[in-house]
Amino acid sequence: MVPDGLPGGLVDDAAVIIFVAKTVREELKKFRAWEATIGGGPVAEEPDFD
């Protein structure tokens, strides 16, 4: 990790945030699919943020 005071220091922070956001999104898709298979009620569609 690069200290934020150095040039490019915020880039690694942004990369971590993007990685976490993508991972959470993928896991939520998997969870919703699993929940639909166990009869957990209606499954809301995922909003399209792209």
pTM for the full model? Answer: 0.60
The pLDDT value recorded for residue 42 is: 61
| Per-residue pLDDT tens digits of the chain, which is 50 residues long | 556 676 777 888 888 999 999 999 999 999 988 888 887 666 667 767 76
Q: 41: which DSSP letter?
A: S
For 11, the token pair is 């880039």
CB 12 within 8 A of CB 1: yes
CB 30 within 8 A of CB 38: no
Length of the chain (residues): 50
